[in-house]
Chains A and B, each alone.
Chain A
């Protein structure tokens, strides 16, 4: 249920075409376990599709264990690895993954190029989406942008070389960021901290709305799960799925750290966030009520 819209929307289309889908709910850590997958597999299940790393909360699914389950049950396993390249080890010898979706642009590669890994042994057959000259064993007809592919290859090569060092540095930066924020009142980290990529911090500041926080932090590139930041005016479905109530979803901030983030930038961000949260809490009637000891769950709101 916390898959990327690219997958969820495709699932909806499959449902329109007559396929039946089972959507798994994560626990409040955000992780989907091999156990949960095993229990959900039916005799007529053809395919399991799961993300390796979640884009909003950065939690990591154990696809090695899940791959064992799907292989045992003779079900194809597709993994969305858009957020995991360069962050988590991907070993397709030990991970029994049949199909893996990759993209260059989240690993410092060019935009507009990705790849689909299709396993040969055991053989996975896919139907082409575009017909034509039958390129790559009939899987994808057409002429590809060689320069983009080279860009992607180079990005992945560098990521492979630098991943360990990157992760160590990024983890210490994230720890620095979190310790600069977690002593504030009513602060909640969304999703498990342990099964998570070092780069991601998704954190809610109760009684402060996310979009106003983003406005206060407009020289930082961050995002929020608040309804006000989405065109649909719906709060983040990922945060809802891990059990966060709407208020904490509206109060969330997603901050990601990268290869080029510096310690100064982290310290700057900590300062700015603390200042913004303080200022917005001064403006917030909910903070007032919380400080006065009012139980907000008991209040009758006049929503329209």
Chain B
């Protein structure tokens, strides 16, 4: 199997791998996928009071394309507002990483992950 250079780069030089404390009120956590499917992504965002994503972390169980998709997403959302981050489309991720058709679903899962993280932080803010 030939791996795209960009996908390999995210594995060889992972960025933003890690974990925030999800009980922290400024952290939104999105966990999507299932072990039975071979794909689980946990995406976390640290959001300022003004609604800007100051930091992001991820961990992914899945193929190279899944790891790269979620890693790329953490890079893209840093510095963005929640509304801007919500607009990121899986097609953009797929294009940037040159994902083949059979791997497009990995970028879809990444989009689901950021949306879940945003929903989580919004729910936390509403509750407080």
Contact = CB atoms under 8 A, between A and B. Distances in A.
Given A209-B66, A212-B11, A303-B37, 17 more contacts: A208-B61, A210-B38, A212-B63, A215-B8, A215-B11, A231-B102, A245-B36, A283-B67, A284-B59, A285-B42, A286-B35, A301-B33, A302-B112, A302-B116, A303-B32, A304-B108, A304-B112
Contacts of B77: none
A283 B59 contact: yes
Contact of B61 (A215, A229, A245, A284): A284
A211 B61 contact: no
9 contacts: A209-B66, A215-B64, A235-B38, A246-B38, A250-B38, A285-B31, A285-B42, A301-B31, A304-B112
B123 interface: no
Nearest to B71: A283
B27 interface: no
Contacts of A212: 11, 62-64, 66-67
Contact of B60 (A215, A226, A246, A285): A285
B3 interface: yes
A30 B15 CA distance: 41
Contact of A209 (B59, B63, B109, B116): B63
Interface hub of A210, A215, A245, A301 (most chain B Cβ within 10 A): A215
A54 B102 CA distance: 28
Interface string A206-244: 011111101110100000001111010101000000000
Nearest to A301: B34
Instruction: Report the contact-size class of chain B (Cβ under 8 Å from the partner).
Output: 20 to 34
Nearest to B102: A231
Contacts of A246: 35-38
Interface in A145-198: none
A303 B116 CA distance: 12
A198 B115 CA distance: 49
Nearest to B19: A288
A218 B11 CA distance: 12
A5 B64 CA distance: 27
Contact of A285 (B3, B11, B41): B41
For A210, A228, A233, A284, the residue with the greatest tally of chain B CB atoms inside 10 Å of its CB is A228
Top 4 nearest A-B pairs (CB, nearest first) are A301-B34, A211-B63, A303-B34, A250-B38
Contact of A216 (B11, B17, B60): B11
Contacts of B31: 285, 301-302
Q: Which of A207, A208, A246, A303 has the most CB of B within 10 A?
A: A303
Contacts of B64: 211-212, 215
Contacts of B82: none
Contacts of A229: 1, 63
Contact of B3 (A215, A226, A235): A215
Contact of B38 (A228, A288, A302): A228
A303 B39 CA distance: 9
Nearest to A302: B32
A211 B100 CA distance: 15
A231 B62 CA distance: 16
B62 A209 contact: yes
Interface in A91-149: none
B117 to A, nearest CB: 12
A207 B39 CA distance: 10
B118 interface: no
Interface in A238-269: 245-247, 250
A286 B102 contact: no
Contacts of A233: 102
Nearest to B105: A233
A303 B19 CA distance: 21
A285 B38 contact: no
B14 A301 contact: no
A209 B3 contact: no
B40 interface: yes
Contacts of A245: 36
